Amino acid sequence: MGCAVRSLPLKPGDVVLLDYTLSLKDDGRVVETTSEEVAREAGIYSEDAKYGPRLVVLGSGDLPPGLEEALKEMKEGEEKEVVLPPEKAFGKRDPGKVRVLPARELSARGIVPRAGMEVEVRGERGIILSVGSGRVIIDFNHPLAGKEVVYKVKLVKVLQSPEEKVRGFLEKWLGRLEEAEVKVEDGEVILELPFRLLHSRELVHALEAFASDIERHVEEVTRVRLISTVFERRVEEEEASSAQAAAP
């Protein structure tokens, strides 16, 4: 009665909040999780990580294909455990992605290569397998390539209204910024922030990333505007107290 009923299945472009824990089928080792508790138990807790439901746009390539398939038929609040073979998860291992590079390519950037080290070379992330005379062998396969994995996933929420989506993306990029106020009106997002935050270059970049997500994933929104008060004159004390006195 009066409630919008979402029609299954979910489709590309839908914006959802997920809780999940990713582990290896082999030994059960937890690799990634949105739950702070699970992270602590598994010994992979990090202070820098953000825990809590993660915002994902279906069909955007954020999730492995097997997980997307499983999600499509899920309802809000539902939990599922899915086991994915490598080809539906992070791909098979490709021996061609193990490459030999001159060591100076790393040393030129001040990196002293060691086996096991994770590096970024020519825009690709890889793990150093071994260091020889003037050469390093790097595996550019995804660290989980070739692995069978288990996702324990909960579809926390399907974001429906433009406003819900805007708030979701805002939290994704700016966190739970208590000083930010956001309004969505007539297809316009108005974001009000304290001016001093604009001194942070990271925040300016985060705002652009936020706007870019809105542009791509919330078609109802035609404009994102920032409003910031650079200066506001303090009300004179007399005025303030006389205003108080006048109040009933």
Residues in contact with a second copy by CB under 8 A are 191, 195, 198-199, 201, 204, 207-208, 210-212, 214-215, 221-233
Q: Tell the smallest beta-carbon distance from residue 174 to a second copy (Å).
A: 12
Q: Tell the smallest beta-carbon distance from residue 219 to a second copy (Å).
A: 8
Q: What count of Cα atoms within 13 Å lies in the side-chain half-sphere of residue 68?
A: 18
Q: Tell the smallest beta-carbon distance from residue 181 to a second copy (Å).
A: 13
Comparison of 108 and 231: residue with beta carbon closer to a second copy = 231
Comparison of 48 and 232: residue with beta carbon closer to a second copy = 232
Comparison of 107 and 228: residue with beta carbon closer to a second copy = 228
On whether the CB atoms of residues 221 and 186 are closer than 8 A, the answer is no
Place of tokens 């929104």: 221
Give the separation between CA 180 and CA 191, rounded to whole angstroms.
Answer: 7
Query: How many C-beta atoms lie closer than 10 Å to residue 124's C-beta?
Result: 11
The helix or strand, by DSSP H or E, that contains position 191, with its residue range, turns out to be strand 188-192
Q: Tell the smallest beta-carbon distance from residue 200 to a second copy (Å).
A: 9
Give the separation between CA 114 and CA 5, rounded to whole angstroms.
Answer: 55
On whether the CB atoms of residues 84 and 149 are closer than 8 A, the answer is yes
Q: Tell the smallest beta-carbon distance from residue 208 to a second copy (Å).
A: 7
Comparison of 49 and 226: residue with beta carbon closer to a second copy = 226
Give the separation between CA 160 and CA 202, rounded to whole angstroms.
Answer: 29
Q: Does residue 9 come out as left (phi exceeding 0), alpha (psi in the -120 to 50 range) or beta? A: beta
Comparison of 127 and 203: residue with beta carbon closer to a second copy = 203
Comparison of 120 and 219: residue with beta carbon closer to a second copy = 219
Q: Tell the smallest beta-carbon distance from residue 190 to a second copy (Å).
A: 9
Find all residues with CB under 8 Å of 113, minimum gap 6, and list them: 103, 106, 107, 119, 128, 131, 136
Give the separation between CA 138 and CA 125, rounded to whole angstroms.
Answer: 9
